[in-house]
Structure 1
Amino acid sequence: MSERSYLVTGASGYIGGRLVPELLDAGHRVRCMARSARRLRDHPWASRVEVVEADATDPDATRRALEGVAVAYYLIHAIGGGSGFAETDRRAARTFAAAARDAGVRRLVYLGGMNPDQELSPHLRSRAEVGEIMLDSGVPVTWLRAAVIIGSGSASFEMLRHLTERLPVMVTPRWGHTRIQPIAIRDVLHYLVASAALPGEVSRGFDIGGPDVLTYEEMMRRYAAVAGLRRRLIVPVPVLSPWLSSLWVGAITPVPGGLARPLVESLRNEVVCAENDIAAYVPPPPEGATGFDRSVALALRRVRETDVATRWSSASTPGAPSDPLPTDPDWAGGSLYTDERTRRAHAPPERLWEVVEGIGGERGWYSFPLAWRARGVIDRLVGGVGLRRGRRDPRRLRAGEAVDFWRVEEIEPGRLLRLRAEMRLPGLAWLELRVDGDDGDDARARLTQRALFHPRGLAGHAYWWAFRPFHEVVFGGMSRGIARAAEQDTVTAGHRASAARREG
């Protein structure tokens, strides 16, 4: 364990929120600086760090936050912060750099954008200016310069994700031909952690990037291929200003317009590594530099593997830096449509669970039988399994077995059943049924039913909204039917018990 702390600013942001657990795993004591400690309390690592409240533009508060700190990570940016963002960035950087010098910080580590030898967009220019302020601080600095970062939750990646998934045919202005050297989030974190140990005489900037140099159009095509989407038709247009482009991106994707504009403006700059000097001080990641296709596959991992619903339905700690965090913004992580319903039953939890575990097969799905049969027929017509598989046992289920056109993905006896759809769909779907006691009343139980759908491409979004009007009939009827069946079974069991007592 380090004797002095490692301070992370911007810990509530995309990079900082993933850097903190990496530093903790490396054995460092971590302190997080935030304007409000409440913004960090929902992070899975919150109980393992020290949190200090300070605004980077407040000299006294910042100096107190930096006391006893060996290495300070400066990950503060005012992107999307309005017309005065550049001055805000300057003031915060100068205040922080001076406070770090006064506190005796051994090294500053700053992550910014690349600054190629050309006219920069306002936000790239501001990033470069912050880097220069850090270098002039009198404290040894590692200034890492990266282009597009690939990982679930990265604003640049989410823009790429949503544009590619939602538009099978798209027009791209000249920035679609801009050459970019993207880098995986796991590789960025590798360099950030290792940079803290650079020799004291090293104080400079380093370009970092992945092994592939691609145009934005090529990135969209390769994303589509990795995500299993049809080949995208991209039509270049000679003019489309950054302002109009940002409006277009804002209309097509959930990325906020205030964030989309600086991202689009920055795409006019070619961002390719001019040097690889970092290799003289930091070895490459253990598995080697991560290529673009693998970076995308890692970012999409949670929507392609069978544990996706586990990750999204719980607030568990992500297993890798590329995974979504519970604290990522609402527009991050791709689309996940949810239909959730709660129903109380006048039946004990064990009786309700018996109905849940017996679902499908001859007992059916407790709502609109004709619709379920029709869906099964349609699935068979398009090459799917339909409803013909039924189920192995009418009363008991186990993980991995089939139930009509579903597969048991997870089962916790008496509590949870999660089914993954194996019907032909333009996306991935799950049905989750959870049974709980009703506030200590042994004679009542609560059913929580969730249908989840992750669309693939525009067809997936259209599929969800086309069937959305029928959800009340299908899913609402299912929750009502399951609760009603449990209540009827409870009454029947009560009658049988009464009859047995009379006969006895």
Structure 2
Amino acid sequence: MSDHHDSSAGTTLSAPTGREPALVAQARPDGSAPRALVLGGTGYIGGRLVPRLLAAGYRVRVLARTPDRLGAFSWGDQVEVTEGSADDPEAMAAAVDDIDVLYYLIHSMGGGKDFEDKDRRAAETVAEAAAAASVSRIVYLGGLHPNGTELSPHLRSRVEVGEVLLHSGVPTLVLQAGVVIGSGSASFEMIRHLTEVLPYMPAPRWVRNRIQPIAVRDVLHYLLAAARVDAEVNRAVDIGGPDVLRYGQMMNGYAVEAGLRQRPIAALPVFTPGLASHWVNLVTPVPRAIARPLIASLQNECIMDDHAVDELLPRPEGGLTGYREAVRLALRRVEADTVETSWQDAELSAAPSDPLPSDPDWAGRTVFTDVQTAWTPAPPERLWKIIEGIGGENGWYSSPFLWAVRGWMDRLVGGVGLQRGRRSRGRVAAGDAIDFWRVEAVEHGRFLRLRAEMKVPGLAWLELEAEPEGEGSRYRQRAVFFPKGLAGRLYWFAVLPFHGFIFAGMASRITAAAAASES
């Protein structure tokens, strides 16, 4: 291997404040920044690793079948892109050119019956290309598994990929992780949705198996540190968090952090992995093609067989993250009551537990919305005047009887009802109370967000917006509801038939009132 790619030589580049020295890129002998290639850069782990590699001082290249997908990331214009796939020798030859460390973060979960062959061919193509280009280090994220026992096809394939890379002639470090805890992780999303939806959990016997979950922030820490491991290291190591739990305990740990009652769980012997994946697909949004390999992998206990990683890589500053803390971080946007319609609307955050635009549609909290729009010939300032005066004596512009009934119901269960009215009839400010709403955000002349303070099994907002359009203005109205557990979902569907009367009526009458006020 040439000295040009020796990552153990050279001087250390300056690091962002507070970053541990072991995670900082080490300059090449010529003083230039080292180069990292990420396979799977638009995936769950890769999308979170790339900005951390950039922050650590690496020049990053991403191999992508669809380069346009990188436009969804804030770092998309900061990386070099090679178009192609890992099983294409020509694309891989171009991708590994002048690369120091290669991150292998791809696998064919849900990829069809021949996924093991596909994974093997991709690994062999990458291994040959990396060796030919004298890459200094391969880092592969594999799966935590027991030794000496039959594995699921998914885990077996990941072990095989690791073996191919370890025999590539390029020093390789295989990090074997189990259930990764963070919003967007398929394993975590299955825990989230099962716990949220089911007050009682009939489950397969594997809910009693022991698992060693790991927070996504700790996975990323180890991945960054792996680039700086000694050049002679060529092996697989287990990584995991500080807690060993049964799957049922993980579900109930989630329930506690999400403010839900703990779930009674009955382990039943009749659930095969196939039946269990159908069951998960029925009661959660997790696709069966994803659920099946996850469930099959849970047939075995997934705990660390050794702690050799501690001899090779430093632990995160402050120690490894416990399971409950990892769940708390994954739910922190709920705790902050941030309004969003899906994880795809979330901004890239420095916290790896936060959602990214690349996360699948079924990932993240369940969000229900009702969106109404209407055009009015009134100018935006006239429409805004109606929006700003909503509630109190002015009312809600639709179905006053239904609004009154909702207020009475809220009072019956100890809520504030509709009797608070509003402080000013024509002006609003952040923090004002309007009936059973609170003004959470206001941009005068354009936007009003109200947060519900009525008693509901979840969190609710109502947004009203005025925008110029043509000779008049466009009114936009959005109701957002984050359900809490099964009760929240049942509540939403119970009130759904009334939305056509209430929300659609609001949109039409508010725009009509704006037009009438102009004449």
For the superposition of Structure 1 and Structure 2, which TM-score range results when normalised by the shorter chain? over 0.9
Residues 1:224 and 2:252 aligned together: no
Q: 1: distance between equivalents of 2:458 and 2:37?
A: 42
3-state SS of the aligned residue for 1:41? helix
Corresponding position of 1:86 = 116
What residue number does 1:474 align with?
A: 502
2:453 pairs with 1:453: no
Q: Cα offset for 1:447? A: 1.1
Query: Quick one: percent identity of the two aligned structures?
Result: 57
Paired with 2:115 and 2:159, the residues of 1 have a C-alpha distance of 14
Amino acid at match of 1:327: S
Contact 2:33 2:57 in 1 (8 A): no
Q: Is contact 1:391–1:403 with CA below 8 Å preserved after alignment?
A: yes
* Equivalent-residue separation in structure 2 for 1:19 and 1:182 (angstroms): 19
Q: State which drifts further: 158-167 or 397-406.
A: 397-406
Q: Which blocks of at least 5 consecutive residues in structure 1 are unaligned?
A: 492-504
Provide the residue aligned with 1:336 in structure 2: 367
2:212/2:302 contact within 8 Å kept: yes
In structure 2, the residue matched to 1:132 is: 163
Inter-partner Cα distance in structure 1 for 2:463 and 2:454: 16
Runs of 5+ unmatched residues, structure 2: 1-12, 14-31
> What is the identity, as a one-letter code, of the residue corresponding to 2:130?
A
CA shift for structure 1 position 59: 1.2
Q: Deviations over 1:6-38 (max 9, x none)?
A: 111111211111111111222221111011212
Task: Give yes or no for contact 1:4–1:68 (8 Å, CA) kept in 2.
Answer: no
Q: Which amino acid aligns with 1:489?
A: S
Does residue 260 (structure 1) correspond to residue 291 (structure 2)? The answer is: yes
* 2:514 paired with 1:486: yes
Aligned to 1:270: 301
**Structure 1: which amino acid aligns with 2:219?**
V
Query: What is aligned with 2:141?
Result: 111
Preserved contact between residue 152 and residue 323 of structure 1 (Cα < 8 Å): yes
Shift of 1:236: 1.8
Q: How does 1:97-496 map to 2 (within 5 A)?
A: 97-117=127-147, 118-309=149-340, 314-438=345-469, 441=470, 443-491=471-519
- Measure the CA separation in 1 of the matches of 2:510 and 2:315: 55
Q: CA deviation at 1:354?
A: 1.5
Separation in 1, partners of 2:407, 2:139: 57
Aligned amino acid, residue 239 of structure 1: V
**1:106 partner amino acid:** S
**What CA distance in whole angstroms lies between the structure 2 residues aligned with 1:317 and 1:403?**
33
Letter in 2 for 1:251: L
Return the letter of the residue paired with 1:193. L
Q: AA paired with 2:474?
A: R
Where in structure 1 do 4 or more consecutive aligned residues deviate above 3 Å? 308-315
| Match among 69, 73, 90 for residue 103 of structure 2 | 73
User: How much has 1:72 moved relative to structure 2?
Assistant: 0.8
Q: Which amino acid aligns with 1:490?
A: E
Contact kept, 8 Å, 1:306 with 1:409, in 2: the verdict is no
Q: Which amino acid aligns with 1:460?
A: G
Q: CA RMSD in A?
A: 1.5
Q: CA deviation at 1:115?
A: 2.5
Residue 83 of structure 2 corresponds to residue 53 of structure 1: yes
Deviation, structure 1 residue 249: 0.8
Alignment match, 2:57: 27
Report the residue type matching 1:473 in the other structure. F
The code of the aligned residue for 1:60 comes to: E
Question: How many Å apart are 1:315 and its aligned residue?
Answer: 4.6
The separation in 2 between residues aligned to 1:432 and 1:474, in whole angstroms, is 14
Residue 265 of structure 2 aligns to which amino acid in structure 1?
A: I
- C-alpha displacement at 1:313, in angstroms? 8.8
Contact 1:109 1:143 in 2 (8 A): yes
Per-residue deviation, 1:384: 1.2
Structure 1 residue 435: Cα displacement: 1.5
1:51-110 alpha-carbon deviations (Å, 9 max, x no partner): 111211111210111111111110110111111011111110011011011112111110
* More moved, 374-383 vs 316-325: 316-325
Q: Hey, what's the Cα distance between the residues in 2 that align with 1:312 and 1:268?
A: 30
- Name the structure 2 match of 1:17: 47
Instruction: Please list the CA deviations of residues 308-356 of structure 1 after superposition, one character each: whole Å capped at 9, or x if unmatched.
Output: 3398694522342111112211111121111111111111111111211
Match of 2:66 in 1: 36
Q: Separation in 2 of the partners of 1:65 and 1:383? A: 63
Q: Secondary structure at the match of 1:44?
A: coil
Contact 1:8 1:31 (8 Å CA) reproduced: yes
The C-alpha deviation readout for 1:194-220, integer Å capped at 9, x for no partner, is 111111112211211111111011111
Distance in 2 (alpha carbons) for counterparts of 1:471 and 1:313: 25
SS of 1:104's partner is: coil
| Partner SS state of residue 340, structure 2 | helix
Rate the CA distance shift 1:72–1:262 in 2: closer, same or farther, 3 A.
Answer: same
Rate the CA distance shift 1:69–1:325 in 2: closer, same or farther, 3 A.
Answer: same
Tell me the number of residue pairs that the alignment of Structure 1 and Structure 2 aligns.
488
TM-score in terms of structure 1 length: 0.94
2:409 match: secondary structure: helix
Distance (whole Å) between structure 2 residues aligned to residue 314 and residue 136 of structure 1: 42
Q: How far 1:275 sits from its partner (Å)? A: 1.9
In structure 2, distance between residues paired with 1:83 and 1:49: 34
State whether residues 115 and 125 of structure 1, in contact with CA within 8 Å, keep that contact through their aligned partners in structure 2.
no
Give the secondary structure class of the aligned counterpart of 1:69.
coil
Contact 1:37 1:51 in 2 (8 A): yes
